Chain A
Amino acid sequence: MRLFAWKSWFLGLAVASVALPAAAQETDQGFPTTGPVSGYMDFHFNKADGEDPVLDFHRFVLLLNHSFSARLRFVGELELEHAFVEGLEESGEVELEQAYVDFLLSRPLNVRAGMLLMPVGIINERHEPPVYNGVERPFVDTVIVPSTWFDVGAGVHGELGAGWRYRAYAVAPLNALEFTADEGIRGGRQKGSEANVRNIAYTARAEYRAIRSLTVGASIWTGDSSFATPRLDTGVTVGEFDARFRRERLELRWQFAQVGIADAARLNDVLERSTGVSPNIARTMRGFYGEAAYRVWNAGAPRDLVAFLRYENFDTQFRMPDGFVPLKEFDRDAWVTGITLYPDPDVAVKADYVYLRNQSGLFPNRHLFNLGLGWWF
């Protein structure tokens, strides 16, 4: 109770300093300190042509943080997806997406260990609803980069100066036996749940921001992912490049990602023998997107409105191993356009329309209409 009262007092003092920015009050925070609970939520309405509309409380996420000292900190992120847990992902799931301790040693070198977000792509480490346009995350950041992509591991991160930042982790590998033709490597995430680490995977990201408007990044993830079947040698490599540009009302985003799976032919053979059906897993999957957004109403929340247009191209059957034919329904592209209204900088009311096409003549293209309400606190 006393702790709560102290925190309330501190928060009140801090808020007062915001209300009077010209005379901001300074307080030095002591340690150890447990921060207030933060989090984000995502509430969606989805309507696809020919299907019944769906209301989904997609994400309920709580973040906790604790500072043991100025240099030793814990961050945790616990997520409930689809509001109800029955034991299958389709019905909902509880995920521990982050739970790590940071050892903040110096600007260029810090150590992190625990449950980590893979530092791959724009969205995986920046997935709060007000941060991105569109009710759902980009397809490329779902199918090619399987965000939210997290697993157990340890590594280093820091800033090298002159606009360079990096992180590099050793983490648990993917499980290749869970790869699919439709969603690529997504099903292979071990999610830190008694993860098999007979093999170790490595991931790293470098970011460069030398000017205020532009950030460019490159990521890699590589690891042998066939621990469940030692006879296989299913090395997986994910390479990714991205750029974000923002000046005044304009924001541009671009991302390219490619997945390479070594020995995909043998992986298909092994899976076919055990299930009777060839999963038709590709040896290369590829996706990219470009997005332009413009703040058409820029008078400050609640008069804050962004319109955007995004083109995505993603193919989980991009290159097949010898003897396998690509399933063209998984060679897809999408036009996504919509608006994001910010009644508060932390609250995003979203609406978008998606035209999702595939290269198969057998499966129809899809039209989707989505509404979303997302918030951060």
Chain B
Amino acid sequence: MTARATFAAILLVLLVSAPGAAPTQGPAPRVIEVTAERFEFWPSEIRVDQGEEVELRIRSDDTMHGFRIVGAGTNLLIPKRGKGYAVTRFTGSTAGRYTFECSRMCGAGHNFMRGVLVVRPGGGTQ
């Protein structure tokens, strides 16, 4: 009885962990940690390959900031320090430079708070 139960348990584990048991997913995107603080992003220059999808995790070190990628339809709020982080994904389908900036007034130097996403041509070449 014990042997049959053990066999059933192993079979169940194999079935659950089999590749076909879960929905098919692509490779997880590269995660890039970004810190926002008055009045700059770190890093302020982010390089990705053309066609590469990246996940931006943006955390504030002080007040609430915004994160807008100009012309890319991305605009979200970054929670205050210690309140979590904002997440967005970005795929640079076209090579070029994409400005990102703080979109929520954060102080006297708010307009200085900008950076650039550089999408390098020829995906996959690091």
* Chain A residue total in the interface (Cβ 8 A): 49
Task: Determine if A376 and B107 form an interchain contact, defined as CB atoms under 8 angstroms apart.
Answer: yes
- Which applies to chain A's interface (DSSP): helix, strand, loop or mixed? mixed
Q: A98 interface residue, CB < 8 Å from B?
A: yes
Task: Determine if A75 and B111 form an interchain contact, defined as CB atoms under 8 angstroms apart.
Answer: yes
Residues of A within 8 A of B86 (CB): 17-18, 21, 24
Q: B87 interface residue, CB < 8 Å from A?
A: yes
Task: Determine if B74 and A28 form an interchain contact, defined as CB atoms under 8 angstroms apart.
Answer: yes
Known A165-B112, A345-B63, A345-B81: A128·B68 in contact at CB below 8 Å: no
Task: Determine if A131 and B111 form an interchain contact, defined as CB atoms under 8 angstroms apart.
Answer: no
Q: Inter-chain contact count A-B, CB under 8 Å?
A: 122
Closest chain B residue to A67 by CB distance? B103
Closest chain B residue to A28 by CB distance? B73
Task: Determine if A14 and B108 form an interchain contact, defined as CB atoms under 8 angstroms apart.
Answer: no
Task: Determine if B75 and A21 form an interchain contact, defined as CB atoms under 8 angstroms apart.
Answer: no
* Chain B residue total in the interface (Cβ 8 A): 46
Residues of B within 8 A of A127 (CB): 108
Residues of B within 8 A of A27 (CB): 73, 75-76
Q: A7 interface residue, CB < 8 Å from B?
A: no
Q: A73 interface residue, CB < 8 Å from B?
A: yes
Which one of B78, B97, B107 has the greatest number of beta carbons of chain A within 10 Å?
B107
CB of B31 to closest CB in A, whole Å? 13
Q: B99 interface residue, CB < 8 Å from A?
A: yes
Residues of A within 8 A of B81 (CB): 300-301, 345
Task: Determine if B105 and A36 form an interchain contact, defined as CB atoms under 8 angstroms apart.
Answer: yes
Binding site for B on A (CB under 8 A): 14-15, 17-18, 21-29, 35-36, 38, 40, 63, 65, 70, 73, 75, 77, 97-98, 102, 104, 107, 112, 117, 125-128, 130-131, 157, 159, 161, 165, 209, 212, 300-301, 304, 344-346, 376
User: A21-B86, A97-B108 provided; 8 other pairs, C-beta below 8 A?
Assistant: A14-B75, A15-B77, A40-B107, A63-B108, A70-B71, A107-B116, A127-B108, A346-B63
